[in-house]
Amino acid sequence: MKDWTGNNNSVFKTLGSSAHAVEDRETYDFYATEPKALIELLKLEKFNSNIWECACGAGHLSEVLKNAGYNVRSSDIIDRGYSQELKDFLSIDVLEWDGDIITNPPYKYSEDFVRKALQIIPEGNKIALFMGIQFVEGKKRKYLFREAPPQTIYVSSSRLNCAKNGDFSKYSENSARCYAWYIWQKGYCGETILKWFN
C-alpha cells in the first residue's frame, strides 16, 4: 500500500530546495559534479584549448578536462586540496581570460557567475555551467536571458548526481534533481536551442 499523503515539504525536498532540504547545505555550496556529466558534454561541444574551472572543488571536472587534453586552470574560494589558486571568482579585478570557462557554480551565485564569466571572456568564447533545470525560471533571470541568451541548454535525460562535499558514496544513482548544461557563447543573440544528453 503506497502512502500518498507525504507532507508539506515533500515536493520541495524532491526538487532539492535548500529551504526544505533534509540536511543543511554545505557552507560554500560545494556539491561536486558527477564526472560523467562533463564526459558526455565533451562528446557534443568543442571548447577552447584553455579552460578555467573557477569553482573546482576537489577537481572532479578539472580532471575530466585534463584527461581530454585541455589546458586547465583550476581555482576555488576554498582550498579543498586541489586548487592551483585560492580565488573568489566573483571578486577578481576586471581582466580578460583568453579561453573558455566550465564549472558548476554555487547555486545561490549562479547568475553572478554567468555575468562575471561573460564579462571576462573574449567575443566568441564559451562558458558552460552545470546547474539545475530550475535555473531557466525566475522573474529576475528573465533579464539575463534577454540580454545574453544561452546558445544551447542540454538537459540530462537520465539523472546525474551532485555530491555534498564531493562524497559520492552517500548517493544512489537515482538523483531527485534534474540537471542541465547551459552553454553561452559571448556575442550570441539568437534563440536558445534545447537539446538532450546522457
pTM above 0.85, yes or no: no
The predicted-structure confidence for 36-52, as pLDDT tens digits, reads as follows: 999 999 999 999 999 99
Specify if 4 maps to a domain: no
The tally of domains found in the chain comes to 1
Best CA proximity match to 148, nearest among 195, 94, 192, 113: 192
Q: What are phi and psi of 74, to 5 degrees?
A: -120, 125
Please report how many Cα atoms fall inside a 13 Å half-sphere around the Cα of residue 6, on the Cβ side: 8
- Dist CA 43 CA 198 (whole Å): 10
Specify if 19 maps to a domain: no
Specify if 142 maps to a domain: yes
- Dist CA 191 CA 173 (whole Å): 33
Best CA proximity match to 80, nearest among 59, 54, 53, 108: 59
**CATH number of the domain bearing residue 47:** 3.40.50.150
What local confidence, expressed as pLDDT, does residue 158 receive?
A: 84
Where in the sequence is the domain holding 138, given as residue range(s)? 25-197
The predicted-structure confidence for 65-117, as pLDDT tens digits, reads as follows: 999 999 999 999 998 888 889 999 999 887 899 999 999 998 889 999 999 99
Specify if 12 maps to a domain: no
Helix, strand, or coil (residue 157):
coil
Q: What are phi and psi of 168, to 5 degrees?
A: -75, -10
Specify if 92 maps to a domain: yes
